[in-house]
Amino acid sequence: MKNNTASGWYFLAGAVVLLLAVMMGGCKPGTTTSGDTLKIIASITPVADFVEQIGGDKVEVTLMVPAGADPHTYEPTPGQMVFVSEADVFVKVGSGVDYEEIWMNDIMDMNRDMQLIDCSEGIDVINEDPHIWTSPLNARQMVENIYNGLITLDSDNADYYQTNYENYVSELETLNSDILDILEGYENRNFLIYHPSFAYFASEYNLIQIPIEHQGKEPTPKVIQDCIDQAYEHNLNYVYVAPQFATSYAESIAAEISGSVLYIDPLPSSYISDTRSVAVSIALELE
């Protein structure tokens, strides 16, 4: 983890300059709200999707880590802090995502009145792996935490949030059933992946994730050879890669095993459909 003292100082200084400019200009930047809509900042794309599903038209959601960006390395822009200064709520993953670990104190310092919802409450974080949302079971708990936060902050609309919550939980239950059907009946349960972001998904559906990258470090020649050996041992034909990561090592291993690179996104923008697509892609390897 990097030292963020210098970068944090420049980050805050830039944010202050922007906020002063906004105040002197006599207007507030950002998206427009109407009525009593809650202004909510969501840390990453799946969290934004969860908030929108439960909050509906009672919330206005701003995404902090843009789609396609890597939350392990992303740094917020001073411009994003204008949204922070106006937000009512920040919804974080809470499981140890690097972006949150490094920047949350600075973000909360910019708006002391902003409330915080921690999606990880009630979820066991395994081996310091922050990717808790890849498991639909964990996703349900995250959605419950968001729902509980919203009805606490906006009790006047509790019935509205409850209806959305119950409908979405039903969709998550259907997703889980669909994934069980998709992955049923295969003896081989192994899949090879560059960044090990699907451990919770693998655990829930009795799969074995074979990672190429370990602890954010590029693979050594020995690790690469071990992955090739395991690919041959389990008759694997694919190397799975997240679109946020470079593919050179994955492509090299895929070429060595006469296989292909397949993309599966650990940061879904549409959780239900994207997670179902992940199961379909992994099932290709199990055939």
Q: Judge if 41 and 174 occupy the same domain.
A: yes
Q: Which of 258, 266, 278, 283 is nearest to 44 (CA)?
A: 266
d(Cα 258, Cα 263) in Å, to the nearest integer? 17
Q: Judge if 142 and 82 occupy the same domain.
A: yes
pLDDT of residue 20: 39
Q: Judge if 135 and 201 occupy the same domain.
A: no
At 200, give phi and psi (nearest 5°).
Answer: -70, -40
Q: Judge if 66 and 135 occupy the same domain.
A: yes
Total number of domains constituting the chain: 2
Domain contains 8: no
Q: Range of 175's domain? A: 35-179
Domain contains 4: no
From 157, 179, 201, the end of a domain falls on 179
The greatest distance separating any two alpha carbons of the chain, rounded to the nearest whole angstrom, comes to: 66
pLDDT of residue 35: 53
Contacts of 95 (CB under 8 A, 6+ apart): 119, 120, 123, 125, 129, 130, 131, 132
Domain contains 21: no
Domain contains 159: yes
- The CATH number for 46's domain is 3.40.50.1980
pLDDT tens-digit readout, 262-280 = 999 999 999 999 999 999 9
Q: Judge if 171 and 202 occupy the same domain.
A: no
Domain contains 14: no
Is 0.75 topped by the overall pTM? yes
Highest average pLDDT, of 74-83, 110-119, 216-225, comes from 110-119
d(Cα 124, Cα 138) in Å, to the nearest integer? 9
H helix or E strand, kind and range, residue 208: strand 208-211
Q: Judge if 41 and 173 occupy the same domain.
A: yes
